[in-house]
Structure formats: C-alpha cells, structure tokens
C-alpha cells in the first residue's frame, strides 16, 4: 500500500505549526503587555535581577472586579521577614508606575513579591493598595 503523505512532509508540517503557535503566543503576550512595557523596563532598571512582570485589568474580565494594576517581582530576601523593605519597595513601584502610565485609571494595585529558593517552595507575599488613597497621600 503506497504512502499518501511522506514522513518528511509531516515533520515539516509539524515544525511550521510549532513556529506559528510560538509566534502567535509571542504576539498575544506582546499585545497584552505593550501598554506596560515602559513601566516594566523602569522597574527592571530600578530593581536589578527582580524580573518584574507588569499587567493590568479586571480579573477574568468581570465588571464587578476592580480594575487592578498588578506587578510580580522577585526579591533576594524572604518577603515575610523584611516588612519595611517590602513597604518601601511597594511605594517605589507605585511611584515608578505613576510616572510611566495613568495609574489613577486603576482602582487597586496588587504587588506580588516572591523569593525563589532552589529546590524549595517559592516564598510569596502579596501587598494590595487602594490606588486612589495612595495617590492622595503621595
């Protein structure tokens, strides 16, 4: 029985499909984070080795959820043990964000700090701030 499709054609097709899917994911991520690129770059410059990730919007797109500005950053210390450092970082993050985007468009800020210890569970701390109150006080 003769082959309908050659193995080489299948491999080439799968390779092209993989490249298209990878490219699509890259474009999707770029479009979703384009608005926050300046803030993310400024945070990376201010906090070296923090690998910041900046996002914004409503969770799951539901209108009852507040419009949220989210930042996730790595820290080199246990975020639960150095409360003052975390509070200072949170304020500095919001200062940088307010210079790079319209922070007052958001209702709350979620700041996630984590320490990734090799071969152990990630230590995570979340800080939530009301953006309108923060702007009024700063």
Count of domains forming the chain = 1
47 within a domain of the structure (yes/no): yes
pLDDT tens sequence across 65-110: 889 999 999 999 999 998 999 999 999 999 999 999 998 899 999 9
Domain membership of residue 30 (yes or no) is no
Domain presence at residue 22: no
Residue 56 lies in a domain: yes
The pLDDT value given to residue 57? 85
Residue for token digits 């959820």? 65
Domain holding 71, by residue range, is 35-137
What contacts 119, CB < 8 A, 6 or more positions away?
A: none
**38-50 in b/e burial notation, b at 16+ Cβ within 10 A?**
ebbebbeeebeeb
Question: Rounded mean pLDDT of 12-22?
Answer: 96
Q: Is the whole model's pTM more than 0.85, yes or no?
A: no
Q: Tokens 């209702």 map to which residue?
A: 107
Answer whether residue 46 shows pLDDT above 80: yes
**Does residue 4 lie within any of the structural domains?**
no
Helix (H, G, I), strand (E, B) or coil at 54: strand
Could you tell me if residue 123 is inside a domain? yes
25 inside domain: no
Strands in 108-115's sheet, in edge-to-edge order, are: 53-57, 68-74, 108-115, 123-130
Confirm whether 29 is domain-assigned: no
């Amino acid at each position: 029985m003769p082959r309908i499709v050659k193995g080489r054609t299948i491999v080439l097709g799968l390779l092209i499909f993989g490249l298209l899917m990878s490219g699509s994911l890259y474009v999707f991520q770029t479009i979703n984070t384009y608005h926050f690129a300046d803030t993310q770059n400024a945070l990376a410059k201010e906090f070296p080795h923090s690998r910041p990730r900046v996002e914004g919007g409503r969770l799951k797109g539901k209108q009852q959820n507040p419009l949220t500005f989210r930042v996730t950053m790595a820290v080199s210390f246990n975020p639960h043990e150095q409360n003052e450092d975390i509070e200072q970082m949170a304020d500095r993050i919001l200062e940088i964000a307010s210079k790079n985007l319209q922070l007052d468009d958001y209702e709350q800020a979620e700041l996630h700090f984590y320490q990734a210890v090799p071969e152990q569970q990630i230590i995570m701390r979340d800080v939530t701030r009301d953006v309108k109150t923060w702007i009024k006080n700063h």
